[in-house]
Amino acid sequence: MPQRVERRLMAILAADVVGYSRLMCADEEGTLARLKTHRHRLVDPKITEHRGRIVKTTGDGLLAEFPSAVDALRCAVEVQRGMIAGNVDASQKKKIEFRVGINVSDIMLDEGDIFGDGVNVAARLESLAEPGGCRKTSRTSSILRSKTWASSTSRT
């Protein structure tokens, strides 16, 4: 009998840098250095603070999981606000902005990685978000609806 897949309800957060190719073309080393600084000072600590876990990173983005949708949204809002402050001294050409997508899904866990259509949906949503914004699936919004903090601070 095959071992049953371990499943868990999670809020999946996908984020990537707006116009990464353009930024890299203009200033490869500088872009990488600024991105690393934002990750180190803001993004990674916020994910940890909100009990999230970075599942994987790509050159310009990351995928994280959160046991709570409220925590995932709080993290996204605080990161996006922090990026506004972090970009104050940057010229338009050097500004790093993130797009974020959040989706609640019943994911499959295997050896530290996560699988399932819910992961792909988060990534697709992220690509549709405004620069500096965050998109959520309607079921994620439904779960967040009665959470006063979440509904008063979210930007979709």
Q: Which residues bind a second copy (CB under 8 A)?
A: 7-11, 67-71, 104-106, 116-118, 137-139, 142-144, 146-147
Closest distance to a second copy from the beta carbon of 6 (Å): 8
Helices (H), the chain: 20-26, 28-38, 44-49, 69-86, 117-128, 138-144, 148-153
Nearer to a second copy, 31 or 68 (CB): 68
Nearer to a second copy, 9 or 90 (CB): 9
Closest distance to a second copy from the beta carbon of 1 (Å): 13
Q: What is the DSSP string of 5-43?
A: PEEEEEEEEEEEETTHHHHHHH-HHHHHHHHHHHIIIII
Nearer to a second copy, 90 or 128 (CB): 128
